[in-house]
Amino acid sequence: MRYNIATQFTRTPGPRYRTDDPRFSGEAFREDVLIPLFDRTVADNDKLEIDLDGGYGYSSSFLDEAFGGLARKRGVRRVLDRLTFKSTEDYYLANDIVNLIKKNKELAA
């Protein structure tokens, strides 16, 4: 399964919490989009590719609340097993997100 944030969610992702942006925050993305997608991916024994290209960019807060938050709720190992990230426009981004997710593993250790 593939999901492009810019075309399917927003080109201007916002801050961490819904209190600062009810529609396009990392929290809104995680709760309304990412967790349902992830759970369906697991149920289908599939993989989920997140395409990060096409938008203006991402704040660390958005990315952490979305993907780090998913790892805090569903587990670091499970998330890393199912999710892959694609970004040709920002060649650091995919690795930065994986590191954000892994940070939760270090915290749990």
What is the closest distance, in whole angstroms, from the C-beta atom of residue 82 to another protein in the complex? 20
What is the phi/psi pair of residue 39, to 5°?
-65, -35
Amino acid, single-letter form, for residue 104? N
What is the closest distance, in whole angstroms, from the C-beta atom of residue 38 to another protein in the complex? 18
Residue placing its CB nearer to another protein in the complex, 4 or 41 = 4
In three-state secondary structure terms, 72 is helix
Q: Which residues bind another protein (CB under 8 A)?
A: 11-16, 20-21, 24, 56-62, 64, 68, 72, 89-93, 100, 103-104, 107
What is the phi/psi pair of residue 90, to 5°?
-130, 95
What is the closest distance, in whole angstroms, from the C-beta atom of residue 106 to another protein in the complex? 9
